[in-house]
Amino acid sequence: MTKKQIIITILVALLAAGNAILGVGYYFSRLQIKDYEKQVKVQQTSGKILQFTNLFVNKVLQAQTEVSFDDRLKLENAVRDLNDPQILSQWEKFTNSQTESDAQQQVKNLLALLIKKITY
């Protein structure tokens, strides 16, 4: 082999090694981005749950009068926007309560579930 061929071989090997290193770096960057995307989704969901919980506390628990139709509609839309079957099911148990004691128990269950679902 000539000196020129040796230099070309070394350059090709260095370029291949550089590509391999960049490829591995890209792979790990993609994994990290996917992890960040999951974290953002969890935070968004938790934010929606907190917004619904705040709305529920303000419009239902702290209400001095009967909850208005508009407020009930806001609450219903907010709970459906969570896209969580467990929370929706517990909400329906609350809204379908027949007695005051049952409603109180369902409120406790709903609040406990909402707190459980909030992750950070």
Closest Cα partner for 53 from 5, 117, 116, 111?
A: 111
CA atoms of 44 and 101, how far apart (whole Å): 33
User: pLDDT for 25-81, tens place per residue?
Assistant: 999 999 999 999 999 999 999 999 999 999 999 999 998 999 999 999 999 999 999
Q: Read off the pTM.
A: 0.77
Contact 88, 110 (CB under 8 A): no
Cα 78 from chain centre: 15
User: pLDDT for 14-36, tens place per residue?
Assistant: 999 999 999 999 999 999 999 99
Which residue has 């609040």 as its token pair?
Answer: 111
Q: What are phi and psi of 82, to 5 degrees?
A: -70, -25
Angle, nearest 10°, between helix axes 85-95 and 69-81? 160
Angle, nearest 10°, between helix axes 3-56 and 69-81? 150
